Structure 1
Amino acid sequence: MKNNRPRINVPLEPLDNIVDLISATVLTMIVVYTAINFSDLSETIPTHFNASGEPDGFGDKIYIWLLPAIGIITFVVLFVLNKFPHFHNYKFNITEDNALKNYRFMTRVFRFTTLFIAILFIFIQYMMIEQGKGNATGFSAWFTPLIIVISLVFAVFIAIYQQKINKS
């Protein structure tokens, strides 16, 4: 697949560095919190929660490391993909004139997506660990609808903002 989009360097701004640093910090906190609490977990922990926030799937406590691993892999993959914004998917034709603003926007979308995932994962990991230690905590009924609403608002924002920056 030939890509004729301009290949330009997208200089990082302070916001980019701050969001990456917060994401990395949250992911580090997930790993540290998991390591600190691992020995206190029962041998069987909740691995899945239904829409009401009640555990409905269980597994060996080693699975507590799955979410931190997925979070770190996601961070690394999206971090690397941000180095190649000309490969991202755009619904507008990318030219020399609009490349920087579109590339910067899409790399920020990736950064904020990573941050959203990290925050979501630390909350889920906390709940899994607390349940695995026998504490009767669970997700509220608002958790799933809130995540859906936030995701939809983010998607609508992306579509509207991308339309705005590409008006000629």
Structure 2
Amino acid sequence: MSNSWKRPKIKILKTKSEWIWDIIGYTFYLGSIIFLIYNWNGLPDEVPAHYNALGEVDRWGSKMELFILPIVGAFIALLMQLFEKIPESHNYSERLSKENAKEFYLISRKLVNQLKNICLIIFALILIESVSIALGIGNGFGVWFLPMVILSALIPIVLGIIKQKKIR
């Protein structure tokens, strides 16, 4: 891309898939907070605070630590929501041009949207499981959780790269 060429700002309406991802992600996020609040008084003073790679609790902490995930989730959601609004600032290949910018922007924005909502879902699941374990009704994640988390983030990234490679 030539230094004299400035990336265009293009208004692209939010797609149906982005709305669906947002509804799912924010529903999980808000649902986990409601679940935490509903069960707050029944929680013991010590709750799961960290998990090892096998999905087993390896540190217990104060029940106040359960607010860390929703706070970090809110920060990530706000930051990634901002990045969704400025796709012209994302990193693109040299093939980006005025003619294909809209297609590049949309793919990149959808990727950011999916990753934001996957993070919200993962944080919600961790919070729900931590509360469940503390209440004696959860078993821990098991060995499947970490690979699923990695795949859930990796698959959209790989698909986004493949889609961008097809742009002419």
TM-score (norm 1): 0.89
Cα distance in 1 for partners of 2:159, 2:62 equals 40
Quote how far apart the aligned CAs of 1:136 are.
4.8
Matches within 5 A, 1:3-152: 4-152=6-154
3-state secondary structure, aligned to 2:162 = helix
- Once residues 17 and 154 of structure 1 are traced to their aligned partners in structure 2, the CA distance between those partners, rounded to angstroms, is 16
Q: Which amino acid aligns with 2:126?
A: I
Deviation at 1:3, TM superposition (A): 8.4
Unaligned runs of 5+ in 1: none
The amino acid that maps onto 1:67 is: L
1:44 Cα deviation after fit: 1.0
Alignment size in residue pairs = 165
Residue ranges of structure 2 left out of the alignment (5+ in a row):
none
TM-score (norm 2): 0.89
What value does the CA root-mean-square deviation take over the aligned residues? 1.9
Query: After the TM superposition, which parts of structure 1 deviate over 6 Å for at least 4 consecutive aligned residues?
Result: none
Label 1:73 to 1:6 Cα distance change in 2 as closer, same or farther (>3 A): same
1:100-122 deviation per Cα after TM superposition (whole angstroms, max 9, x unaligned): 11111111101111121122112
Query: Identity over the aligned pairs, expressed in percent?
Result: 27
